[in-house]
Structure 1
């Protein structure tokens, strides 16, 4: 039994670290959402901030955009030239994706400084790409509403999860100490 544990030490460490970090961060985020009453920032601070920043980017590229509280659900409506285009919900704020990213990086952690810097840089990049993806989706839905399904179920996830995958591969191939050790088979 001991040799089996020794043989799969890195795999077991990865699974336990990933699972623990993911559970703790997800639970923290769950409680954040539970206690966000939406009184100041509707529906919660992060979702509101993403909606407002998307609004600013859309307006800066020439689309007359307004963001409003959705009257029937916890989301923000994206309205371009008086046309309701999309809604920004909690799942659009990239926090869940950043939690997944952080969990993976910590599971393959390197030295503390490098790991924290990569997490910070990667999280900012994911957040920024997420804003760009919301802008692209909004513009796409404005011009091609009949492509709603393709834009939201294919292009939208491809952009954000593709970015996370590339960051993970970069981390594993360039910085992770766990892969630099020879694996005995």
Structure 2
């Protein structure tokens, strides 16, 4: 048994580090959500921010967009030209995806400054891609409501998770010190 632990030490360290970081960040995020209920920003600050930024971007590209709190659920309604097209829920704010990204980066840590910078920059990239994804999805749902399932459940998850995967690959291949070159 000891031989296996020694042989797979790096793999075990990666898994444990990933799970610990993911657990701590997820618990912290759920505490944040619990404390933000009934706060100034409905349904929570980050979801509200994503909805407001979606609204601003839609208006900046020529749509007449508005957002309203959903009366029956914890979400913000996205309305384009008077037509309700989408809702921004807590899962749309990219925080859970950023937590997943950060957990991987820390588990495959490189130099401290590089790790911190890449974690911060990658989080911004994911947030921005997510915001663009919601804007395009909202416009797509306005013009092609019959394509809702493929847009929401296939194409746009592929974009956001594909972005995270690409960021991980760049990290592992360029910055992580966990990968040793073959001698």
Relative to the length of structure 2, the TM-score reads: 0.98
CA drift at 1:89? 0.1
RMSD: 1.1
Residues 137-148 of structure 1: pairs in structure 2 closer than 5 A: 137-148=137-148
CA drift at 1:38? 3.3
Aligned to 2:38: 38
For residues 83-134 of structure 1, the C-alpha deviation after alignment (integer angstroms, 9 at most, x for no partner) is 0000000000000000000000000001110000000000000000000000
Runs of 4+ in 1 over 4 A off after TM superposition: none
Q: Distance in 2 between matches of 1:148 and 1:37?
A: 29
Aligned to 1:92: 92
Aligned to 2:17: 17
Q: Distance in 2 between matches of 1:8 and 1:181?
A: 17
Aligned to 1:165: 165
Q: Distance in 1 between matches of 2:139 and 2:7?
A: 51
Runs (5+) with no aligned partner, structure 2: none
Aligned to 2:180: 180
Matched, 1:133 2:133: yes
Q: Distance in 2 between matches of 1:21 and 1:102?
A: 8
Relative to the length of structure 1, the TM-score reads: 0.96
Q: Distance in 1 between matches of 2:130 and 2:39?
A: 25
Count of residues paired in the alignment: 183
Aligned to 1:27: 27
CA drift at 1:174? 0.7
Q: Distance in 2 between matches of 1:180 and 1:83?
A: 55
CA drift at 1:44? 0.1
